[in-house]
Amino acid sequence: MIMKIISYNVNGIRAAIKKGFLDWLHAAGPDVICIQETKARKEQVDLELIENAGYPYHYWFSAQKKGYSGVAVFSKIKPNHIEYGTGIETMDFEGRNLRLDFDRFSVMSIYLPSGTNLSRLEFKLNYMAEFQEYINELKKEIPRLIICGDYNICHQTIDIHDPVRLKNVSGFLPIEREWIGNFIQNGFIDTFRYFNDKPHHYSWWSYRANARNNNKGWRIDYCLASENLKNNLSRAYILNKARHSDHCPVGVELEL
C-alpha cells in the first residue's frame, strides 16, 4: 500500500480554488493533503467542492484574525483523532498547527511564521523554540510523525537561489538555518533531500521580477518524517508545475 501525502501553501484557499486548485487536487489524488495559509474559516468555503474532489474528511484550524494564516488537512481516510493546535497559547491564536492521527502514523500541517520585521522575527524565534520543545514531548506519545508545511526557512545554500546576497534576510538567517538543521537532526528526515541532493529545486518564488519563470526561488516547504519511517519512504518530490500560489506543492510517498 502506497500512502501519498502532499503539502501546499495555497496563499488563500478561496483564491487558489478560483485558479483551478480543486481540479488539480482531484487529478493529483493524494491520500492526505496538508494546506497552509488558508486565509479563511471553513464556513467561508464551499465544502461540497472539496468533498466532490474526493476528500470527505477535512479539518480546519483558523487564525483568530480574519483572512490571515490558518491551516487545514484534507483526507480520503478517516483519522482516529484530530488535534487542533499545540495547546501553546502564544502560537495557537494564529492557527498554525493541525494534526491527524491514523493507525500507523500521524500527519501534521504546520505554518511557521515569517520574520518580515524585527517584532515578527522575535515572534518566529520564540515559536521555533517552543515548537521544538513541543515536538520533543509529542514524539514520546506519537513516534511515527510526518510534519508537512511551510517552515519559512531554507536549510542549506542549495535551497536558495542566491545564498550570498540573501544571507541576512529572514528565512535564511544563520540562526534560522541552525534551528531547522537541529530540528531535522533531532529525529527527522528531510524527505526531499533523502532522494535528491541537487540544487535549483525550490518551492516558493517572489511575485516580483519574474522570479518564478527565472527559477529564482527558495525551498521553504518540507515534508519531514520521523527517522523510524525511513524504510517506508518510497518517493519525495516538488510539484513546481502547479501554479495556484506563490508556493508549489511538495510531496512524499510511503510504502506501508
Return the CATH fold of 2-255.
Deoxyribonuclease I; Chain A (3.60.10)
Three-state DSSP class for 5? strand
- Return the active site residues: 150
- pLDDT (tens, 9 = 90+) of the chain, 256 residues, equals 999 999 999 999 999 999 999 999 999 999 999 999 999 999 999 999 999 999 999 999 999 999 999 999 999 999 999 999 999 998 999 999 999 999 999 999 999 999 999 999 999 999 999 999 999 999 999 999 999 999 999 999 999 999 999 999 999 999 999 999 999 999 999 999 999 999 999 999 999 999 999 999 999 999 999 999 999 999 999 999 999 999 999 999 999 9
Helix (H) or strand (E) holding 49: helix 47-52
What confidence tens digit (pLDDT) does each residue in 6-37 have? 999 999 999 999 999 999 999 999 999 999 99
Which distant-in-sequence residues (6+ apart) come within 8 Å of 87 by Cβ?
Answer: none
Query: Quick one: which of 249, 3, 202 has its CA closest to 102?
Result: 3
Coil, helix or strand at residue 190: strand
- Between the CA of residue 155 and those of 172, 196, 242, what are the distances in Å? 7, 14, 23
- Torsion sign (Cα): 9, 114, 42, 103: positive
Residue entry with cell 528565512:
171
Query: What single letter denotes the amino acid at residue 148?
Result: C
Q: For residue 229, what pLDDT is reported?
A: 98
* CA separation for the pair 223, 121 (Å, rounded): 23
Report domain extents, the chain.
Answer: 2-255
C-alpha to C-alpha distances, 122 to 36, 89, 93, 116, nearest whole angstrom: 21, 16, 16, 10
- Cα angle 220, 225, 150 (rounded to 5 degrees) comes to 20
Confidence (pTM): 0.98
Whole-number Å distance between alpha carbons of 46 and 33: 17
Cell of 185: 537532526
User: Using an 8 Å Cβ cutoff, are 95 and 69 in contact?
Assistant: yes
